[in-house]
A = this chain, B = another copy of it.
Amino acid sequence: MNARSNSVEVMTTASRRRIPEAAVIRLPLYLRILNDLSADNCTQISSDQLAVLAGQNAAKVRKDLSYLGSYGTRGVGYDVSYLLYQIQRELGLNKSWPVVIVGAGNLGQALGNYGGLSERGFVVAAVVDSDPSKVGSVAGGVRVSHVDDLPLIVQSKGVSIGIIAVPAQYAQSAADLLVRAGVGSILNFAPIILNLPAEIHIRKVDMALELQILSYHEQCRMDARGVAVVSDPESVIA
């Protein structure tokens, strides 16, 4: 208890240390696992067990968690709900983040209706589209607004995260609109690289790209099985 209070003290007085990006990416993963554990009334967990559940190495788990502070108890492990709280706090998930979805097509609607969002600290503040015929319909429990209202919505609701769910050819202008409206982070579902100011944080989701990565590995597997291929037409001709 003493040690714990001490390190908390350090955390709040000293400015927040920067966490390596690789670790940041794993924190939501731990969070989800801890949530599940908590739902199962599990109160304690060791770095070893957590590592298994997360598909990681125990030392890595401990190091990742140590960036948050010293919240474990030697000889025992981590208190699930306390750790849960600390990770949530570090990720900024002790509040609910309003997000705005640009694009009310199939994808935009599916995202809006996805229940997992609200469970994980996000709320769809608005869905916007440029097509007037879509404005007024309902997606994700939210009436679709016109894209022209984006600045107003972002300002009034304090939105800082935007989700792009429009076809590739409109994605860049959607992104520009979001940035101009004042959004600081973007999650991009369109298969295109967005050109944005460096201070904007951006993550992308692209299924085709993921499949192509898998395709490479399957290809390697086939090559390894000795399926010799002469795959270059020029070398055949030559």
A111 touches which of B97, B207, B217 (Cβ 8 Å): B207
- Evaluate contact between B33 and A193: CB separation under 8 angstroms: yes
Whether the Cβ atoms of A215 and B24 lie closer than 8 Å is: no
Determine whether the beta carbon of B185 is less than 8 Å from that of A217.
Answer: yes
A184 touches B32 (CB 8 A): no
Decide if A136 is an interface residue (CB 8 Å cutoff). Answer: no
The reply on A16 being an interface residue by CB < 8 A is: yes
Q: Give chain B residues whose Cβ lies under 8 Å from the Cβ of A207.
A: 111, 114, 116-117, 187, 205
Nearest B-chain residue to A6, judged by Cβ:
B235
Cβ of A219 and Cβ of B8 under 8 Å apart? no
Known contacts being A29-B209, A209-B29, is A230 close to B12, with CB within 8 Å? Answer: yes
Q: Are B187 and A201 in contact (CB under 8 A)?
A: no
Please list the 3 inter-chain residue pairs (A to B) with the smallest Cβ-Cβ separation, ordered nearest first.
Answer: A92-B219, A28-B212, A185-B214
Q: List 12 A-B contacts (CB under 8 A).
A: A28-B208, A93-B215, A94-B231, A110-B110, A111-B207, A116-B207, A122-B211, A161-B214, A161-B218, A187-B211, A201-B214, A201-B218
Known: A5-B238, A187-B207. 17 other contacts (CB 8 A): A4-B234, A8-B234, A12-B235, A27-B216, A53-B193, A55-B193, A111-B207, A117-B208, A117-B211, A121-B212, A122-B211, A161-B218, A184-B217, A184-B221, A185-B217, A187-B210, A203-B210
